Amino acid sequence: MFFAIDETLQKVAREDIKGRQFVAILTFDEWNKNKESFEMGIDIEQDMSEIFLTKAEVNYDSLTGSFSIPDRKNPSGDDSKFAFVLDEKGIVFIDDSGKAKEIIDGIQRTKKWKMPSLERFLYDFLDQIVKDDLRLMEKYEDELDNMEKSIIEGEEDLPSGRLNEIRSDIRYLRIHYEQLMDLAQEFEENENNFFKPENLRYFSTFINRASRLHDTSLSLRDYTMQIRDLYKAHLDVKQNRIMTVLTVVTTIFMPLTLIVGWYGMNFRYMPELNWEWSYPVVVVLSVLIVVVSLLFFKHKKWL
């Protein structure tokens, strides 16, 4: 599948790209069969199993690399992987996953250029990858806000599994942004002079955008740690309250236990046992001990 870079991406036949900057999408098998005709003179990874990250490498007469793009619905899951090779004439995506075509279809639908160029296409291609990520970050932040609110309001259960998932997703996205920035910097350095100097600003603009997303992901990562610490503090407070109640109960019953033990002794002579008011007095004394203890603990704000 071939496209000419014009005011929009124009789908054309292979023979129509001669003398025009172009975009091509090939499978790995198609690339291996036709790579000599592109005169880019370089071998790349043979299949998607050998692609692990987003990168760009400068060669003598071409620039090669790969994309490993996390699924925005599940960033911790499997990435979409494909390779590319480019020179001043155009770029070839070698892709069996269909992700490159999906991104290019988005560019076809939404982009029209006043000054078309390979550099502008590359900027829009990179921009399509991260176009909805700011909203994704806002979604994560809203979810974390709700978790924090639940903790503050004293709800017992925190979905700690979901918190770990968000943290993992953000970590994968942060690494992805770092790789995208490295790739765009390779483009901006323009070591082989494939790009016009006046168009290098596109890559600088994308680097700034990816950097902002990267900073946002760092902030969200710190936010997840704060929520985890807040939940631990909430559990500690709850545990301290339980221990306080147990301590108060134990303290109240200690003198009562003493009275029970006292009158449970088998002494023959206990004068008060023959007094008709002995039982009421012991009951009143026990109640008085409980009341005084409760008032004392309340005064100390232990209850």
- d(CA 215, CA 223) in angstroms, rounded, equals 12
CB distance 169 to 76 below 8 Å: yes
Residues 6 or more apart whose CB falls under 8 angstroms from that of 136 comprise 72, 173
What's the pLDDT at 213? 94
In the chain, where do the E strands start and end?
Answer: 2-5, 9-12, 22-26, 55-58, 63-69, 80-87, 90-94
What's the pLDDT at 268? 67
DSSP secondary structure code for residue 267 in this structure: -
CB distance 129 to 208 below 8 Å: no
Instruction: For residue 128, give both structure tokens.
Output: 């399509």
- Residues 204-232 have a mean pLDDT of 91
What's the pLDDT at 211? 95
What's the pLDDT at 303? 65
Q: Whole-model pTM?
A: 0.76
DSSP secondary structure code for residue 77 in this structure: S
CB neighbours of residue 164 within 10 Å: 13
Mean confidence (pLDDT) of the chain: 84
CB distance 227 to 147 below 8 Å: yes
pLDDT at residue 272 is higher than 90: no
Q: Per-residue DSSP letters for 186-222?
A: HHHH-TT--S-GGGTHHHHHHHHHHHHHHHHHHHHHH
What's the pLDDT at 297? 74
Q: What are phi and psi of 91, to 5 degrees?
A: -130, 140
The CATH class given to the 240-299 domain equals mainly alpha
3-state helix, strand, coil in the chain (%, to 5): 60, 15, 25
What's the pLDDT at 17? 79
What residue spans in the chain does CATH classification 1.20.58.340 cover? 240-299
pLDDT more than 90, % of the chain: 31
Instruction: For residue 235, give both structure tokens.
Output: 């559990």
DSSP secondary structure code for residue 176 in this structure: H
Residues 6 or more apart whose CB falls under 8 angstroms from that of 125 comprise 103, 104, 107
DSSP secondary structure code for residue 58 in this structure: E
